[in-house]
Amino acid sequence: MAEKLFIGGEWVDAQAGETFPTYAPSTGEKIADLAKAGREDAQRAIQAARDAFDNGPWPRMSGKERAERLRKVAELINAKSAEISEIEARDGGGTMKKAMFADVPGGASSFAFFADCAENTADVEDRGTNPFPAAESIVRREPYGVCSGIIPWNFPFIMASWKMAPAIAAGNTSVIKPASFTSLSALEMAKCVQEADIPPGVVNVVTGPGGSAGEELAQHPSVDKVAFTGSTEVGRRIMQLASGTVKKVTLELGGKSANIVLDDADLDLAAAGVLFGTFFHNGQVCESGTRALISRNIYDEFVGMLVERAGKIVIGDNMDMATDLGPLVSPSQVDTVERYVKLGLDEGAKLLCGGSKLTDLPAGLDANAFYPPTIFEADNSMKIAQEEIFGPVLCVIPFDSDDEAIKLANDSIYGLGGGVWSKDADHAQRVAAEMQTGTVWINDYHMITPAQPFGGYKQSGVGRELGDYGYNEYRQVKHVWRNTATDRSGYMHFAALSGNI
């Protein structure tokens, strides 16, 4: 039996009756069939969201009432943590460790944070008065209407929560399309929404191909806002599709982030941070620090530490809590990595470790889906240092001065994440201030909280998710001007048209 679509509060098959399989990348086993939404199913979901917005109770409830429902979703997610973690890890190939400590609690905390926003953020702001003509201004923050969210495969559960929770917290309704490789956990999220008494049509989830169901969510006239996370290439397409009806668009796209190790860093910490910054989830993280820029004063010693420690990362069955790295999301993603490794060698980059598929995996695992941590000494102009690989490949690049490090860091079409390692806080802050990127971690990496903004400079995206910045991306701004004059003397500007009206 296939998993169904969640539309208008009902679990339904795709209209054409089609399904598609999803696999566990670690073994290549099929784990479920899912309803394959076509354009007509996406349209049904958009219509359900439209009705729920135009005629339903959700946008008319108080922020406090919505917040109670979102908090309930967070509670239900936490209560089902073990079950959802297992689904998330098995379907996408991430480790159980990541699912239990990052994905599922991260998803719950998005709902909890945006519940607080719904309850505690004012919808009406007093903007004061004008002396002449005498007037008072207020600004109202209002939901857009129907918000679609298109999700990538690398963090399926968290990414779905980043699109769904702020949208509905602000009084919008939502249609979510997960990535085809990893659609199962978004359906679990929909079940929590249903159990939390969120009215039918406020949340809809359609599983199916980006090229049909996804395109419909980006272009349909009844969609008011599109939020997309994924590749820069598809992001460009989303912008084009949305332009037909000038939709509000937010995009979280690719990256090639720089992790800068200054010569006054704690090298032990920095080595661990650089490895974590690149190899966490096999580098399938948009803000991975895939370019380590290293001061030449410490370069040889530091690169030696990286190579030695990269060999200690435990690769194996992702469902085992002792495993650091499981498979990539699919054998096709491994093909992409292999293509880039070959390209790096052809470009003259020096391979320091990794660089070919593993031959000693435990029985039962699909060797075509795994790839070991790979480190290249590279030049920043090489394709492997400029293009997003989305796999476990790190480029190490030396620099001679802070200015050179900053220049190299900014020599990229992207600007999503980045790191600076130094024991001197002022030094690190000076470098961070010059980096053209949406997030910089000092002496840390990958840390994200729902309370602070996340998003990209340059071709890494448009707009912000999370924090009050992210919440306000789901609320449009209405200025209401009220003339407070008591007679015509306060309306002299009418004379611009005619003295006699």
Measured from the CB atom, the residue of 209 and 490 that comes closer to ligand NAP is 209
Number of amino acids touching ligand NAP (CB under 6 A): 30
Would you tell me the crossing angle of helices 156-169 and 81-92 to the nearest 10 degrees? 120
Do 167 and 474 form a contact (C-beta atoms < 8 A)?
A: yes
Do 155 and 103 form a contact (C-beta atoms < 8 A)?
A: yes
Identity of the residue numbered 436: Q
- C-beta nearest to ligand NAP: residue: 210
Those residues with Cβ within 8 angstroms of residue 365's Cβ, 6 or more apart along the chain or in another chain: 26, 27, 316, 317, 327
User: Does 330 engage in binding with Mg ion (CB under 5 A)?
Assistant: no
Do 386 and 344 form a contact (C-beta atoms < 8 A)?
A: no
Q: How many other C-beta atoms are found inside a 10 Å radius of the C-beta of residue 174?
A: 29
Dist. CA 404–CA 411, nearest whole Å: 10
Stretch that binds ligand NAP, among 51-59, 208-216, 396-404, 443-451 (CB under 6 A): 208-216
Would you tell me the crossing angle of helices 299-310 and 267-279 to the nearest 10 degrees? 50
Could you give phi then psi for residue 287, rounded to 5 degrees? -100, 15
Interface residues for ligand NAP in 374-413 (CB under 6 A)? Answer: 388, 390
Q: Give the x-and-dash track for 156-195 against Mg ion (CB under 5 A).
A: -------------------------x--------------
Sign of CA dihedral 161, 187, 152, 170: negative
Query: In whole angstroms, how far apart are CA 400 and each of 261, 281, 377, 404?
Result: 11, 31, 16, 6
Measured from the CB atom, the residue of 91 and 473 that comes closer to Mg ion is 91
Q: Give the x-and-dash track for 71-100 against Mg ion (CB under 5 A).
A: --------------------x---------
Stretch that binds ligand NAP, among 14-22, 96-104, 227-235, 442-450 (CB under 6 A): 227-235
User: Does 151 engage in binding with ligand NAP (CB under 6 A)?
Assistant: yes
User: Does 22 engage in binding with Mg ion (CB under 5 A)?
Assistant: yes
153 binds, among Mg ion, ligand NAP, none (CB under 5 to 8 A by kind): ligand NAP
193-198 long-range contacts (CB < 8 A, ≥24 apart) are 193/73, 193/164, 194/6, 194/9, 195/72, 195/76, 196/69, 196/70, 196/72, 196/73, 196/76, 197/69, 197/72, 198/58, 198/69, 198/73, 198/168
User: Does 215 engage in binding with ligand NAP (CB under 6 A)?
Assistant: yes
Interface residues for ligand NAP in 344-373 (CB under 6 A)? Answer: none
Among 19, 174, 229, 290, binds ligand NAP (CB under 6 A): 229
The 3-class SS string of 89-105 reads HHHHCCCHHHHHHHHHH
Dist. CA 389–CA 339, nearest whole Å: 9
Those residues with Cβ within 8 angstroms of residue 362's Cβ, 6 or more apart along the chain or in another chain: 316, 317
Among 461, 463, 467, 470, binds ligand NAP (CB under 6 A): 461
Is 286 marked active-site?
A: yes
Measured from the CB atom, the residue of 353 and 367 that comes closer to Mg ion is 367
Is 75 marked active-site?
A: no
91 binds, among ligand NAP, Mg ion, none (CB under 5 to 8 A by kind): Mg ion
Among 99, 187, 223, 286, binds ligand NAP (CB under 6 A): 286
Helix (H) or strand (E) holding 403: helix 402-410
In the complex, minimum distance from the CB of residue 429 to ligand NAP, in angstroms, rounded to a whole number: 24
In the complex, minimum distance from the CB of residue 344 to ligand NAP, in angstroms, rounded to a whole number: 18
Q: Which one is catalytic: 215, 252, 388, 473?
A: 252
Stretch that binds ligand NAP, among 139-147, 163-171, 232-240, 374-382 (CB under 6 A): 232-240
Cα dihedral angle (490, 493, 498, 501), rounded to 10 degrees? -40
Do 451 and 428 form a contact (C-beta atoms < 8 A)?
A: no
User: Residue for token digits 């929770």?
Assistant: 165
Interface residues for Mg ion in 193-252 (CB under 5 A)? Answer: none
Would you tell me the crossing angle of helices 425-434 and 402-410 to the nearest 10 degrees? 40
Stretch that binds ligand NAP, among 145-153, 307-315, 364-372, 478-486 (CB under 6 A): 145-153
Among 169, 253, 334, 405, binds ligand NAP (CB under 6 A): 253
Stretch that binds Mg ion, among 15-23, 271-279, 378-386, 460-468 (CB under 5 A): 15-23
Those residues with Cβ within 8 angstroms of residue 346's Cβ, 6 or more apart along the chain or in another chain: none
22 binds, among Mg ion, ligand NAP, none (CB under 5 to 8 A by kind): Mg ion
211 binds, among ligand NAP, Mg ion, none (CB under 5 to 8 A by kind): ligand NAP
Residue among 248, 161, 214 at smallest CA distance from 462:
248
177 binds, among Mg ion, ligand NAP, none (CB under 5 to 8 A by kind): ligand NAP
Do 88 and 54 form a contact (C-beta atoms < 8 A)?
A: no
Dist. CA 118–CA 107, nearest whole Å: 17
Stretch that binds ligand NAP, among 93-101, 124-132, 133-141, 247-255 (CB under 6 A): 247-255
User: Does 448 engage in binding with ligand NAP (CB under 6 A)?
Assistant: no
In the complex, minimum distance from the CB of residue 248 to ligand NAP, in angstroms, rounded to a whole number: 16
Stretch that binds ligand NAP, among 9-17, 177-185, 296-304, 351-359 (CB under 6 A): 177-185
Interacting residue ranges for Mg ion, rule: CB under 5 A: 22-23, 91, 181
Task: Cite the active site residues.
Answer: 252, 286
Interacting residue ranges for ligand NAP, rule: CB under 6 A: 150-154, 177, 179-180, 209-211, 214-215, 218, 229-231, 234, 237-238, 252-255, 286, 388, 390, 416, 456, 461
